[in-house]
Amino acid sequence: MTRMVLSNKYFGESTVRVEDLQHLVDQWFLLNGAFNIGDWIPWLSFLDLQGYVKQMKDLKRSFDKFHSIVLDHRAKKNAEKKDMVDVLLQMAQDPTLEVKLTDDCVKGLMQDLLTGGTDSLTAAVQWAFQGLVRQPRVIDKAIQELDQVVGKERWVAERDCSQLSYVEAILKETLRLHPLGTMLAPHCAIEDCNVAGYDIEKGTTVLVNVWTIGRDPKYWDRAEEFLPERFLEKDIDMDGHNFSFLPFGSGRRRCPGYSLGLKVIRATLANMLHGFNWKLPEGMNPESVSVEEHYGLTTHPKFPAPVILEPRLSSDLYSPK
């Protein structure tokens, strides 16, 4: 993500260490998911009992410092390979834009991409691992498809992914059982309405529990089981039109990273499955892999499975070119 958004230009001794940015993103997720007493009992908020507000202010200052370093590097914007910040900065100078893109907008977009696009992808891949090592038969079936479509002489390329229907089904099944934003982001009713017989008043905060919807036996057979085949039998989309499956939300606030996110997870999963034999450590069996969740702004496995990966393709594919 940092390469897409910023290239590698800003990382180095004299500017920012990538580990520092990682720390900022981790801190951002921690604080966004924190239960802050002052939000619920406002007259106590000035005491900042847990110290979260101070940490948020510190974090804002650190992010701002990082953003300023990036913006100060405008001089590099004519580099041949453009990243997202280059494009945004170029747009910011366009006097014909109907809505002016200010420096603050560019900073906000940068932050959206770096936070929204990192933790979500890691969690999705972690959950796929968790589901797969519990079901070696699913791994075998996926490898069969990959060997058939891609062969053993090369890595999986983006163009192969459209033919990998079983890998796609694994991805969907992972997001059905483990949607990363279990309640989506809080939404607000913009008018009075009635949903399934319940009156919702304008201005009400609405939380949509996509975790429960994804496991509702009314819509899903054997709802608690990891069964990718269900997505082969029925073509169920994930773009927010099918209300029984909403891993990216729906409507205008749907995840804007939807298509990029799917591409990255698809390619990662396909290459990890195709390129390696997967094994659990001695003494650990598939049933003992936990699916317990660690709640936060995104939901990660509480106990990520230790998986041993061994190369299974031609050995020259594993050496750097």
The footprint of ligand HEM (CB under 6 A) covers 112-113, 116-117, 120-121, 124, 175, 180-181, 184-185, 247-249, 253-257, 260-261, 265
Shortest distance (Å) from residue 279 CB to ligand HEM: 26
Q: Select 32 or 314, whichever has its Cβ closest to ligand HEM.
A: 32
Q: Three-class SS of residue 92?
A: helix
Task: Work out whether strand 193-195 and strand 198-200 pair parallel, antiparallel, or are unpaired.
Answer: antiparallel
Please, what is the minimum distance in Å from the beta carbon of residue 258 to ligand HEM?
Answer: 7
Q: Which residues pair with 132 in a beta bridge?
A: none
CB–CB of 71/92 below 8 Å? Answer: no
Is the CB of 2 or the CB of 120 nearer to ligand HEM? 120
Q: Compute the least distance from the CB of residue 151 to ligand HEM, in Å.
A: 28
Which value, in Å, is the radius of gyration of the alpha carbons in the chain?
Answer: 22
Pair 59, 28: CB distance under 8 Å: yes
**In the complex, what is the shortest distance from the CB of residue 184 to ligand HEM, in angstroms, rounded to a whole number?**
4
Count the Cβ atoms, other than its own, within 10 Å of residue 192: 11
**Minimum CB distance to ligand HEM, residue 114 (Å):** 8
Q: Which is nearer to ligand HEM, 255 or 273 (CB)?
A: 255
**Least distance CB 205 / ligand HEM (angstroms):** 12
Closer to ligand HEM by Cβ: residue 71 or 109:
109
Using the minimum distance from each CB to ligand HEM, give the nearer residue, 215 or 254.
254
> Which residue, chain included where needed, has tokens 């969740």?
293
Residue 308 bridge partners (DSSP): 279
| C-beta contacts of 274-277 below 8 A and 24+ residues apart | 274/143, 274/146, 274/147, 274/150, 274/155, 274/156, 274/312, 274/313, 275/155, 275/311, 275/312, 275/313, 275/317, 276/309, 276/310, 276/311, 276/312, 277/309, 277/310, 277/311, 277/312
Residue 166 or 298: the one with the smaller Cβ distance to ligand HEM is: 298
Q: Please, which residue, 30 or 280, has the CB nearer to ligand HEM?
A: 30
Task: Give min distance, CB of 154 to ligand HEM, in A.
Answer: 26
End-to-end, the C-alpha distance of the chain in Å comes to: 22
At its nearest, how many Å lie between ligand HEM and the CB of residue 252? 8
Q: d(Cα 16, Cα 8) in Å, to the nearest integer? A: 10
Question: Which CB atom, from 85 or from 313, has the smaller least distance to ligand HEM?
Answer: 85
Look at residues 5, 122, 118 and name the one whose alpha carbon lies nearest to residue 66: 5
